[in-house]
Copies of this chain bind each other. A is one copy, B any other.
Amino acid sequence: MKIICLQENLKNSLNITQNIIGRNLILPILNNVLLTTKDGRLQVSSTNLEIGINTWVSGRVEKIGAITCPAKALTGFINSLPNKKIELEVKVNILTVKCENYKASFNCLSAEDFPIIPKITDDSLIEIKNSILKDALLKVVGAASSSESRPEITGVLFSFGKKELKLAATDSFRLAEKSIFEIHKKSDIIKSLIIPQKTVQEAARILGEKTGETKICLGASQILFDSGDVQVISRLIDGQYPDYQQIIPKEFSSQAIIERSELLNVIRAAAVFSNKTNTIKFSLSDGEIEVLSQDADLGENKSKLAAETKGKKVVIDFNYRYLLDGLGNINTKQIFLGLISDASPAVMKPVGDESYIYLVMPIRAN
């Protein structure tokens, strides 16, 4: 194998692919990236057996071939080079990299032993602008569960509807749902899939750096995010996602419109006195929200917030971290807060944007 390419292009590809590579002692080849000449370009691929990433570097292929090279070392070395022409050449499992006055040799492993990253050749289910998809993924992914006791909620639910894509995630303490209506192209298929949290994070990280569109395609038991020069392929999570729609309240006994930045400050101030349990108490009454917290050793806090309220008085305890997470996903100036009782889920929504909803379960006193 021999190929000549530009440092910057190779650097970008390596930095995208190497992120999913950990330190695998059982299968050392998983610490490597796969370099393959393909259709006159260099394909750079990585996998952790759950997610695979393919990227391409344009260049001049002088001899076709394939090899796998330690990812962190190759990335570290390429990152140190000037943005000039790089020559990569493989002889008997040694990759030699030359760039101006720099030269390095890497001991490599054969490409034949590299795990196969599944190919997905199906037509796309949907095409969405990268910036919109990234924003939507980040608004839900934090709510997914990190406990393996219920694997089906460790992922994000993708529901491909007639005209929209709905994303949802929950860890049973809170739930986030985001609908994407700005869709470039949509097939007729109506389907729901559970995508691992780590895949969603990687897709958001990689797509966030790109302009253009991403195609989402479906394989036998994989999903593909394809933005043209980067592909993220992932396994799906088996299982039945909970029917969460039924727990989203439609009517409230008490509701308020609140300035988002003021609510953030009041919660942060209350958080100081909730160290041990993370509990803060909301009291929503006529034209006002009172936030209380106390700590036996430290002291207590009581802050008030003017709000446009409606309905009866409700007093409810929250884990303030869940509230901050939800507020972090909302960027409108005002938010809607809907309550039913101290034992029912509370709803937060951006005012003027019906595409996002964040549910928080209260902390029950007993």
A-side residues, CB < 8 A to B, are 70, 73, 76-77, 79-82, 94-95, 101-107, 265-266, 268-269, 271-273, 297-306
Lowest 6 A-B CB distances belong to which pairs? A80-B269, A80-B268, A104-B301, A101-B304, A106-B299, A76-B272
Instruction: Kindly state the separation between the CA atoms of A208 and B301 in the bound complex, as whole angstroms.
Output: 34
- The residue in chain B whose Cβ has the minimal distance to the Cβ of A275 is B73
Docked-complex contact A298 and B266, CB < 8 angstroms: no
Which chain B positions have C-beta within 8 A of A306? 101
CB within 8 A of A298: which of B73, B299, B300, B302? Answer: B73
Given known contacts A298-B73, A299-B94, A269 and B81 CB-to-CB distance under 8 angstroms = yes
Which chain B positions have C-beta within 8 A of A82? 265
Which chain B positions have C-beta within 8 A of A81? 265, 269
- Minimum CB–CB distance from A341 to chain B (whole Å) comes to 26
Given known contacts A299-B104, A302-B103, A73 and B265 CB-to-CB distance under 8 angstroms = no
Instruction: Kindly state the separation between the CA atoms of A101 and B270 in the bound complex, as whole angstroms.
Output: 12
Instruction: Kindly state the separation between the CA atoms of A80 and B262 in the bound complex, as whole angstroms.
Output: 10
Which chain B positions have C-beta within 8 A of A101? 303-306
Q: What are 30 A-B contacts defined by CB distance under 8 Å? A: A70-B298, A73-B273, A73-B299, A76-B268, A77-B269, A77-B301, A79-B268, A80-B265, A80-B266, A80-B269, A80-B272, A81-B265, A82-B265, A94-B299, A101-B303, A101-B304, A101-B305, A101-B306, A102-B266, A102-B269, A102-B304, A103-B301, A103-B303, A104-B273, A104-B301, A104-B302, A105-B299, A105-B300, A105-B301, A107-B297
Given known contacts A70-B298, A80-B265, A272 and B104 CB-to-CB distance under 8 angstroms = yes
Instruction: Kindly state the separation between the CA atoms of A73 and B299 in the bound complex, as whole angstroms.
Output: 10
Which chain B positions have C-beta within 8 A of A303? 101-103
Instruction: Kindly state the separation between the CA atoms of A38 and B176 in the bound complex, as whole angstroms.
Output: 52
- The residue in chain B whose Cβ has the minimal distance to the Cβ of A28 is B297
16 additional contacts (CB under 8 A) given A76-B271, A76-B272, A94-B299 = A73-B272, A73-B273, A76-B268, A77-B301, A79-B268, A80-B265, A80-B266, A80-B268, A80-B269, A80-B272, A102-B303, A103-B302, A105-B299, A105-B300, A105-B301, A107-B298
Instruction: Kindly state the separation between the CA atoms of A84 and B102 in the bound complex, as whole angstroms.
Output: 58
Instruction: Kindly state the separation between the CA atoms of A94 and B299 in the bound complex, as whole angstroms.
Output: 8
Instruction: Kindly state the separation between the CA atoms of A192 and B180 in the bound complex, as whole angstroms.
Output: 68
- The residue in chain B whose Cβ has the minimal distance to the Cβ of A96 is B299
Instruction: Kindly state the separation between the CA atoms of A77 and B101 in the bound complex, as whole angstroms.
Output: 56
Which chain B positions have C-beta within 8 A of A73? 272-273, 298-299
Instruction: Kindly state the separation between the CA atoms of A265 and B102 in the bound complex, as whole angstroms.
Output: 10
Instruction: Kindly state the separation between the CA atoms of A268 and B81 in the bound complex, as whole angstroms.
Output: 9
Which chain B positions have C-beta within 8 A of A269? 77, 80-81, 102, 104
- The residue in chain B whose Cβ has the minimal distance to the Cβ of A304 is B101
Given known contacts A271-B76, A272-B73, A300 and B265 CB-to-CB distance under 8 angstroms = no
